[in-house]
Each structure stands twice: as structure tokens, then as C-alpha cells.
Structure 1
Amino acid sequence: MHPRIRLELAKRWSEPHREHHDADHLAEVIGGLDALVAEGLGFDAELARTAAWFHDAVYDVHRADSVERSAELARRWLGPGYGTRVAEIVLATEDHVSPPGDIEAAALCDADLSILGQDERRYDRYAAAIRAENDHLPMSEYRRLRAMVMTRYQNRPRIFVTEPGHRLWEAKARANIARELTTLGRPVPV
């Protein structure tokens, strides 16, 4: 990726309204991709890293189209061909479901969700940052919406679709989500 593009993206990742979706999150996602490489997952890691830089490049909690706008930014800045491929991978992060056979999208989705599988203290900081990004919502509405999102993840047969992602993060993610759902007033049956 051209240094000028990386600099422009870094500015976006440093916007003051970002509590979780910031440069630290980007570093953790890239670290998650590196962990998948270290665990032997075969994918185009450089392509996935580029998509990581774009995946939350546009982030506005007041709009529902941030992922689409981030994908469009990749298309515009990277051009046809490569930019279109990066945009396809970025679009998978909207619901964290990769198209069948798209290993780069699967890797990015797993790396993006790897925060769910961290130790309790890190997870709690993440959950607090998500709340801070959504502080415009009344607490009751936030709890309802957050519980809905986290229940969707908890109800998936697998949160992490790659084998290394599943091994690395699945068990802790399920425990963290169950714990958060309990604090949101939605206990998860054991």
C-alpha cells in the first residue's frame, strides 16, 4: 500500500470519536491476522492486512453504512482490480460472515472478532469502549441492542470460522459473551 494512503488511513483511525474502533483496534486486528499466519493458516496475509486498514476506515455510529463506505473508499483509493478485491473482503466484516471459499475474508472476520476471545480485563475494556462510542443511546436501549448483537454471536455454531481462529479464541469468546449477556440482563443458559 502506498505510504500516502497509509498516512491518510492512519488519520482516520485516529479520529477523536473512536473509543474502540481506533488505531489500537487496527493493531489488534493485524496482530490477529499475524496469529493466524503463525498458526499455519494459508491465505494472502498482505491482502488481508490491506483490508484490515480499510475495514473501519469510515466509522460513524450514527450511520448504518460505515462498512459500505469503507469498502467504497478502498475501491476509490486502490483502483479497479485490487481495490475491488479489498472492498469484497471489507464487506464481509459487516456481519462477520465470509463468502464460502473466501479465506482472506474469513481470516479478517476472525481477526476482527479476536477481541471477543481475549482475557476478561481486555474484553471488559473493549465492552466499555463500545458503550462509550454509543453513549448517545439511553442505557436501556443500548443494553437491548448490545444484547441482541452478542446473542447473535453466541447462537452461531462457530464464532470463528477458520480452524486456527476457532482454536485460539472460541472458548474465551463464548465465556466473555455469556458473562456480558448476564451483565446486560440476558443470562445465557449453560
Structure 2
Amino acid sequence: MTRQSEGSGLFPAWAHGDLDAPEALGFTAWARVWTGLGVRDASQETHEQLIRHYDEPHRAYHNRQHLAECLQVRRLVNAACQAPAEVDLALWFHDAIYDPLRSDNELRSAQWLDEVARDSGLDDETRRRLYDLVMVTRHDSAPASVDEAVLVDTDLAILGASLERFEEYDQQIRREYLHVPMSIYRQKRRQILEGFLARGRIYTTAPYFDAFEQQARANLARAIDRLD
């Protein structure tokens, strides 16, 4: 297996839910992001509240494993950002609210982040950028800035993970949608995966494209074939 087919070694080799990433999700990492935004006293209560949300039992994929992977991939790929701390804070919140029965998860997550940012004293322009960063993870429009592109590529890095991790991810998504009949799920899932595969490029930024594009296309094609 080539280095490229392994995701260039940049996707954490965590599988089967066996994830122990205290450094990635600990309060020290959380506080460091806020320090980068000029906030000296990060809220421990908000940090604990966020982790509780990511640990909700109905989350099979959109959980602390996904959050930790995103934060670690962002650090390992280290694509150039205009405001790295803003990208990292948006990653912490991008799936803060997640209910597979609702379609406004990104909106509610962005609103929560905006409330926390306001209470922390961040200015209106920074709050607007943070709000837009979370909202772009709806993946229904092109990123409008370099930072939005980095955040979207980080969120989609799972598509270019190793075969083993991608297979686990695919199963995790199905578990989150067990309430959907299999025939309908297969149809909708196929539409989503084909949408990614039909893009001229899945990853907007060069570092993510180089690391994950080839493997992502192989993973998507394989998953789509299984849905026939």
C-alpha cells in the first residue's frame, strides 16, 4: 500500500472507537485556542458542556472521536490560515449541536458559539467570521475564504482516511440514521457520496488535496458500489 493510499500518514490511525486523545480535547488545548484569540480566562464550564454534547449516546460518528480527529488533522496538515485560532475554535463547535432528526444543527451550533464568543468579549467582526466558519460545514456552498476552505477540508478529511477508518466511519453514519429505512438510506447516502465524487476536487486547499484526494476518491467509489 502506498503512502498516498494511507492518507499520507496525516489522518490519525484511530479506529473502532478506541480513541484516547486527552491532549487534543483537554482543557489545556481549549484554553490555548482562546489565548490565541486574546481571551485569557477560557470557560471551563463551556468546555465541559461541549464534551458532554459530543458524548451524547445518539452520536456514533459526530462524537468526540470526530472532534479529536479534526483537531489533530488540522495540526498535522497545518495548512496556512489567516486566523488559525478562529479555525480551531470553529472546529470545536462545528458539531456542538447534533440531532440526526433535525436540519438546523449547524445553525444552532453557530448560534451557541456566537453566544460564547460574545460573553468572552470577542468583537463583532470576529464573531461574524466564527459564525460563518461553522455554517460553511453545511457543505451546501463553496468556502468564501481561505479559513473556511481549511475548515471544510478538515471536516472532510475523514473521506481520505485509511480504508479501515473509512469503513468504520461509513458504519457509524448508518448507526446515526437507523431510524431511516434501509432502502431510503441507501438512496440518500448514494446521492451524498456521488455529490462529493462528482466535484472537480474534493479538497480546496493544496495541502489537503495532496494528502487526501486520491484516497478519498477510492473510498467514495468503493462505498458507492456497495450501495447498488
Fold match by TM threshold 0.5: yes
Deviation string, structure 1 residues 135-182 (Cα, Å, up to 9, x no partner): 001111100000000010000001000000100110000000000000
- The residue type paired with residue 72 of structure 1 is Q
Comparing 19-28 with 88-97, which one deviates more in the overlay?
A: 88-97
Task: Please say if 1:112 is aligned against 2:155.
Answer: yes
Asked if 2 retains the 8 angstrom alpha-carbon contact of 1:70 and 1:90, the reply is: yes
Q: Equivalents in 2 of 1:52, 1:70: separation in Å?
A: 11
Task: Please say if 1:132 is aligned against 2:175.
Answer: yes
Q: CA deviation at 1:105?
A: 1.1
Deviation string, structure 1 residues 9-67 (Cα, Å, up to 9, x no partner): 11111111100000010001111211231xx5244222111000110000000011111
* TM-score, normalised with respect to structure 1: 0.91
Long gaps (5+) in structure 2? 1-33, 35-41
- Output aligned runs, 1:44-83, within 5 Å: 44-79=83-118, 81=124, 82-83=126-127
Q: Equivalents in 2 of 1:141, 1:72: separation in Å?
A: 31
- Output aligned runs, 1:34-45, within 5 Å: 34-37=75-78, 40-45=79-84
Task: Please say if 1:168 is aligned against 2:207.
Answer: no
Q: Equivalents in 2 of 1:144, 1:136: separation in Å?
A: 15
Asked if 2 retains the 8 angstrom alpha-carbon contact of 1:32 and 1:112, the reply is: no
| Secondary structure in 2 matching 1:171 | helix
Task: Please say if 1:143 is aligned against 2:186.
Answer: yes
* Structure (1 or 2) with the larger CA radius of gyration: 2
For CA contacts below 8 A with separation 6 or more, give which structure has more relative contact order. 2
Long gaps (5+) in structure 1? 186-190
> Is the alpha carbon distance of 1:10 and 1:108 closer, same or farther for their aligned partners in structure 2, counting shifts above 3 Å?
same
> Is the alpha carbon distance of 1:85 and 1:42 closer, same or farther for their aligned partners in structure 2, counting shifts above 3 Å?
closer
Of residues 189, 192, 200, the one that matches 1:157 is 200
| Aligned CA-pair RMSD | 1.4
Aligned length: 182
Residue of structure 1 equivalent to 2:220: 177
Residue of structure 2 equivalent to 1:95: 139
Q: Equivalents in 1 of 2:47, 2:128: separation in Å?
A: 18
